[in-house]
Amino acid sequence: MLRRCLYFTAPRAVELREEPLPSPAAGQALAQTVCSAISAGTELLLYRGEAPAALAADETITALGGALAFPLKYGYSAVGRIIAIGPGVDPAWQNRLVFAFNPHETHFVAETQNLIPLPPDLDPADAVFLPNMETAVNFLHDGGPLVGERVAVFGQGAVGLLTTALLSRFPLASLVTFDHYPLRRTLSLQCGAHQSLHSPPPALHDFDLVYELSGSPAALDEAIALTGFDGRVVVGSWYGTNRARLDLGGRFHRSRIKLISSQVSTLNPHLTGRWTKSRRLQTALNLLSEIRPSRFITHRLPFAEAAQAYALLGEKPEEAAQVVLEFEEQ
């Protein structure tokens, strides 16, 4: 049996390759992919050739072995249906809809302990947002928003929108978001932002908490400029090989502003007495049913048109919020 897999082969080049599909061994299950979400952050860095090639793809995800060097099979947001199980696997897994942190491919084999069974009433199009929702939960854990605070968010891609949706549930004094694209600003207001602007006006400043989620190194300097005395800037963007030029010689030096690195592969150290990764993941899974992020999907393309999907995100980002690859029944 063969499967088709997406490979990043060179800057701005992807191709589908056929590979033998192994049968599930003891403790494993074979899933047929239903849909898979493209990350407009990490995956676009890979697509553009801006990811550090010597860096491990992901040390915490079994399916993402090796380094970020071409050719590379990548992706971490797949929903599939179990079509075969290995020896010793509970028959209840058969035909179950599951989520997997797995690259874009028509079929995948995984240890059942690495599969996340999905609630029967959860739409697969909502389930593919699970990694982004977990990231958004992590951002709130790291930023620690307080009642009555003034909060700003740079970047309203999928992760930024989910972060805004969660922040809107707090009784904040203000929640202001920034994005260059009108489509994303409209979605941001629908998520509960009080204002969504192209860029910060000169009079806007003294925020208690600012999130930099745009992926643009230049935005980090803007985020710092908006932050008030003893405020926090949560840096959720990954810039890859791009460099951020920061002005740290002005008010930053005297304002005791905190720059906080936030990455979902680890937990906030201050929470590890009570929180585990499984608890955080379950929290994110529960929130999907409430937020229903499938409304952020602007394009659904068949897997065969994956190259067009990446070209769309890379060349016309103003038209896309979230792009999802859909797989035909085999």
For 78-130, what is each residue's pLDDT tens digit?
Answer: 999 999 999 999 999 999 999 999 999 999 999 999 999 999 999 999 999 99
Average of per-residue pLDDT across 41-69: 82
Structural domain including 299 reads: 2-123+294-326
pLDDT band at 55 (very low <50, low <70, confident <90, very high): confident
Query: What band does 317 get if pLDDT is binned at 50, 70 and 90?
Result: very high
Q: Chain-wide mean pLDDT for the chain?
A: 95
Q: Which of 38, 33, 36 is nearest to 127 (CA)?
A: 36
CA angle (313, 319, 322) in 5-degree steps: 60
pLDDT digits over 126-182, tens only? 999 999 999 999 999 999 999 999 999 999 999 999 999 999 999 999 999 999 999
Residue at 37 is within a domain: yes
224 in a structural domain: yes
Tokens coding 57? 């793809």
Q: Are residues 103 and 147 in the same domain?
A: no
Dihedral angle over CA of 124, 125, 126, 132, nearest 10: 110
47-75 average pLDDT score: 82
Looking at the fold, whether 91 and 215 belong to one and the same domain comes out as no
Residue with tokens 């179950």: 96
Q: Are residues 175 and 253 in the same domain?
A: yes
Residue 30 lies in a domain: yes
288 contact partners, CB below 8 Å, separation of at least 6: 122, 126, 127, 129, 130, 133
Cα–Cα distance, 94 to 85 (Å, whole number): 7
Tokens of 308: 């067009």
- Predicted confidence band of residue 329 (pLDDT cuts 50, 70, 90): low
Residues 198 and 180: their CA atoms lie apart, in Å, by: 5
Pick from 194, 188, 234, 230: nearest CA to 212 = 234
Give the model's confidence band at 63: pLDDT under 50 very low, under 70 low, under 90 confident, else very high.
low
The pLDDT, as a whole number, for residue 280 is 98
**What is the reported pLDDT for 118?**
98
- pLDDT for the residue 28: 98
In total, how many domains does the chain have? 2
Q: Examine residue 70 and state whether it is found in any structural domain, yes or no.
A: yes
The answer on 319 and 217 residing in a single domain is no
User: Residue 102 in contact with residue 35, Cβ under 8 Å?
Assistant: no
Q: Is residue 168 domain-shared with residue 225, that is, in the same domain? A: yes
181 and 231 both lie in a single domain: yes
Residue 227's domain is classified under what CATH number?
3.40.50.720
pLDDT score for 330 = 45
Q: Of 62 and 97, which is predicted with more confidence?
A: 97
3-state secondary structure of 101: coil
- Domain annotation covers residue 288: no
Q: Is residue 286 part of a domain?
A: no
Tell whether 119 and 136 lie within a shared domain. no
User: Is the domain of 299 the same as that of 265?
Assistant: no
Are 58 and 146 in a shared domain? no
The pLDDT assigned to 61 comes to 63
* Residue at token pair 């553009």: 48
Do the domain assignments include residue 287? no
Q: State pLDDT tens for residues 210-242.
A: 999 999 999 999 999 999 999 999 999 999 999
- Domain membership of residue 276 (yes or no) is no
What CATH number should be reported for the domain holding residue 71? 3.90.180.10
Mean pLDDT score, 279-288: 98
- pLDDT, average across residues 60-76: 84
What tokens were used for 227?
């932050």
Give the percent of the chain with pLDDT over 90.
91
Measured N-to-C along each axis, helices 277-291 and 130-143 cross at an angle, to the nearest 10 degrees, of 110
Are residues 12 and 99 part of one domain?
yes
Same domain, 104 and 32: yes
Beta-strand ranges (E) seen in the chain are 2-10, 13-20, 28-37, 78-85, 97-100, 107-111, 116-117, 150-154, 174-178, 195-197, 207-212, 227-235, 258-261, 297-302, 322-326
The CA-based angle 104-110-112, given to 5 degrees, is 130
> Confidence band (pLDDT; 50, 70, 90) for 255?
very high
Task: Please give the average per-residue pLDDT across 180-194, as a whole number.
Answer: 98
Q: Which residues contact 17 (CB under 8 A, 6 or more apart)?
A: 4, 5, 7
Dump the DSSP string for 178-227.
Answer: E-S-HHHHHHHHHTT-SEEESS--TT---EEEEEE-SS-HHHHHHHHHHE
Spatial CB neighbours of 225, under 8 Å, sequence gap ≥ 6: 200, 205, 247
**pLDDT band at 66; cut points 50, 70, 90:** confident
Helix (H, G, I), strand (E, B) or coil at 131: helix
Same domain (yes/no): 158, 253: yes
